[in-house]
Amino acid sequence: MTTHTGIRITQGQFSFLPDLTDAQIKAQIAYALKQGYALNIEYTDDPHPRNVYWEMFGMPMFDLKDPAGILMEVNNCRKTFPNHYVRMTGFDSSRGWETPRMSFIVNRPKHEPGFGLVREEGQGRSVRYTITSYAAQKPEGERY
Amino acid sequence: MTSPPQGAATPQEDSLDLAALLRESHALEVIEALDRELVGLAPVKTRIQEIAALLVVERARAQLGIAGDQPPSLHMSFTGNPGTGKTTVALRMAEILHHLGYVRKGHLVSVTRDDLVGQYIGHTAPKTREVIKRAMGGVLFIDEAYYLYKPENERDYGQESIEILLQVMENNRDDLVVILAGYKDRMDTFFRSNPGLSSRIAHHIDFPDYAPQELFAIAQIMLERMRYRLSGEASAALLEYIELRRGRPHFANARSIRNALDRARLRQAKRLFAAGGAGVSRDALMTIEAADIRASRLFHDAAAEGAA
């Protein structure tokens, strides 16, 4: 979640690295397919770390064998939402896991204003801290 | 010429052993198996060998650093009468292309119109894309492809599906190979009304009908797989049967032969029961007698016609 030096949102895998190239994304997808994960693509314009409900782009891709098809869908999503956060999630359906095993951002807005720290006065002199996204103060669709 | 070991060459070397490259790819085994297990089909086999040779040369060129920027187009159309082996060859084709490194995974996704064309506006494109995504890295086999296009209905969604296919065949050439299959005359009409599709397919392969001797050879291969054998008279009866069946309507080459053999097995089982069923030898269980084949309706009809 941190907003580090370049004010880039860091969520999921590889987010401290420069943006992955298509070839690198393809290699990650190939790995996920080899592990038997079902991949899906999600997007959002509200990247608050507690927002776990990103919108799904199309159906989860269960029965694909080759990364090229998934990359095609990633590029479709980027074209539709060029200024949203887009992430790939690999879901492991095997017994005992039944949870996303990998997740990484494949597209982000050009300008990311980041988060502000909010201090709330509590009872006595206690202070409660939270963060709020600058972009999410605008209505949906106008955020980035 | 000194051939390098295992055909692998460093880019500095100027010569390669093509035969070694082919051996290395293991495609030869698949092609040989194809030759062994599929009877006849000479034009098909020649074309497959040509394609294999092209891909090996292409690989050699890549190793020497003289590969072109465009991979060769390998979309194909298989035309021929029912039962001439179109699906079987398509399945093998996926394997061969995989061994030769043209497709990455080598699986075959076999679809018909139902899987590609939707039922209402906006349903077709996602459906077709879904199938294409599934086929990536392998071979997309569209059986009875002429159903995709219905000229009598202007608002048919099939056209939309064809357009998406065209686009993918052009842009994702290295991701998947599309094989269209169907009966000769109807495919010809289909291609005439979709010239764009026809011109994007480099290989139009025609599957010829089998000769009676070839059908007999096919029957023997099938029987061998079912672990049966023909008695001497039964072989003669089967040849006669093939001659008669070929003249009949709805003759579907190898498929008709398989059905005939299945019926002969039924009759053999019935005959064994009728004979008492006690103390049946291993030999009797495996042998199909002439009577099992001659009991076919075809022989009665022929006899009736001869008498009339």
Mean pLDDT by 10 residues, chain B (308 residues): 46 68 76 82 88 85 80 89 87 86 88 91 90 92 89 84 90 88 90 86 90 90 90 90 87 90 92 82 88 85 72
Question: To the nearest whole angstrom, how far is the Cα of B136 from the nearest Cα of chain A?
Answer: 6
For residues B46 and A118, give the distance between their C-alpha atoms in angstroms, rounded to a whole number: 75
Interface of A with B (CB under 8 A): 58-59, 61, 63-70, 72-73
Q: How far apart are CA A104 and CA A25, in angstroms?
A: 9
- Distance of alpha carbon B267 from alpha carbon B293, whole angstroms: 8
CB pairs under 8 A between A and B: 38
Q: Which of B107, B126, B136 is closest, CB to CB, to A68?
A: B136
CA distance B8 to B13: 10
Instruction: Kindly determine whether residue A72 and residue B134, on different chains, have CB atoms separated by under 8 Å.
Output: no
Any A CB within 8 A of B172 CB: yes
Per-residue pLDDT at B282: 87
3-state secondary structure of B292: helix
Which of A62, A72, A77 would best serve as a mutation to test chain B binding (most B beta carbons within 10 A)? A72
State whether residue B126 sits within 8 Å of chain A by CB.
Answer: yes
Tokens at residue B285, please? 């269980």
Give the pLDDT confidence score for residue A4 in this predicted structure. 55
Rounded Cα distance, B214 and B220, in Å: 10
What's the burial of B84, exposed, middle or buried (CB within 10 Å: 0-12/13-18/19+)? buried
**What is the interface pTM, i.e. ipTM, of the complex?**
0.70
Of B31, B36, B42, the closest CA to residue B209 belongs to: B42
| B218/B258 Cα distance (integer angstroms) | 9
B18-25 and B27-37 are packed helices; what angle lies between their axes, rounded to 10 degrees?
Answer: 70
Q: Provide the strand spans (E) within B126-266.
A: 139-142, 177-182, 203-207, 229-230
